[in-house]
Each structure stands twice: as structure tokens, then as C-alpha cells.
């Protein structure tokens, strides 16, 4: 299974998680079977590319997204693609991945998505 962690700057397991899924400059992808870690730039329409961030993640083959914050539209798109979203992680990607692996993160729902996303409201 491939797990996506939206990360800041250079990406990787030591990089901090992005505050918002779609606004992450990079996505760190972890293959849970091989333990391979791949960093890809966010090439969605948020960064001048094509497609919405959830479409981009689906094309990368991820089936899980671990993030700090996500808007309801993105969460619905990910869910419709069959991608599970987990919230509540803090710190860097490694910490977030370990929290998810240990079952310590909450599976996202529309009720706990960032309702103020894009309107200057905080979701933390």
C-alpha cells in the first residue's frame, strides 16, 4: 500500500507535514511493503499544474493520506477515489507515519474536515 504525506519544502520523512493537504509543496509517498520513500512535487493546479490535488494523489497510487488539515471538497474527492484520510498527526512525516501505523490517528470525516478552508479560518 502507498501512503501519502503532504510535506513542506524538500519532502522526505524528516520534513514537516504541511498545514493543508492541497497547499503542500511536496508529497512524500511511503510504500508500506517495500519501505521505499519517494518525494514528488505537488504538480496539481495549486502549483500551476493540472488537476486537483486529490486527482494527483490518486494518479500516484496512494490509498491513504495522512495530514494535519484538509478541506471538505478535497476530503470528499479522496473518499470518492477510495483513499482513506487520517487526521491528527503532528511533527514530521516520520512521526505522522508512525502514529498512523500504531493506530493513533483519527480517520477523517466531513465533520472533522476544515470547514473554513480557503476562508482564512484555522482548522487546528
Domain ranges of the chain: 2-27+51-110
CATH code for the part of the protein at 2-27+51-110: 3.30.420.130
Q: Which residue has the higher pLDDT, 49 or 92?
A: 92
Q: Which residue has the higher pLDDT, 92 or 123?
A: 92
**pTM for this one?**
0.88
Q: Which residue has the higher pLDDT, 118 or 114?
A: 114
Residue 6 φ then ψ, to 5°: -70, 120
Q: Contact, 2 vs 63, CB < 8 A?
A: yes
Give the N- to C-terminal CA distance of the chain in Å, as an integer: 28
Q: Contact, 85 vs 67, CB < 8 A?
A: yes
Cell, residue 30:
511511503
Distance CA 89, CA 99 (A): 7
pLDDT tens digit sequence for 37-82 = 999 999 988 888 889 999 999 999 999 999 998 888 999 999 999 9
Assign 3-state DSSP to the chain and report helix, strand, coil percentages, each to 5: 25, 25, 50
Give me the torsion for CA of 49, 64, 95, 10, rounded to 10°.
-20
Amino acid at each position: 500500500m502507498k501512503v501519502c504525506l503532504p510535506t513542506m519544502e524538500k519532502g522526505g520523512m524528516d520534513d514537516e507535514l504541511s498545514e493543508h493537504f492541497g497547499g503542500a509543496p511536496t508529497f512524500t509517498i511511503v510504500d508500506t511493503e517495500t519501505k521505499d520513500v519517494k518525494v514528488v512535487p505537488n504538480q496539481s493546479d495549486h502549483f500551476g499544474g493540472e488537476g486537483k490535488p486529490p486527482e494527483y494523489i490518486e494518479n500516484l497510487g496512494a490509498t491513504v493520506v495522512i495530514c494535519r488539515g484538509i478541506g471538505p471538497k478535497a476530503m470528499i474527492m479522496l473518499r470518492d477515489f477510495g483513499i482513506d484520510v487520517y487526521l491528527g498527526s503532528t511533527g514530521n512525516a516520520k512521526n505522522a507515519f508512525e502514529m498512523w501505523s500504531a493506530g493513533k490517528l483519527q480517520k477523517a470525516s466531513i465533520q472533522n474536515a476544515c470547514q473554513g478552508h480557503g476562508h482564512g479560518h484555522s482548522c487546528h
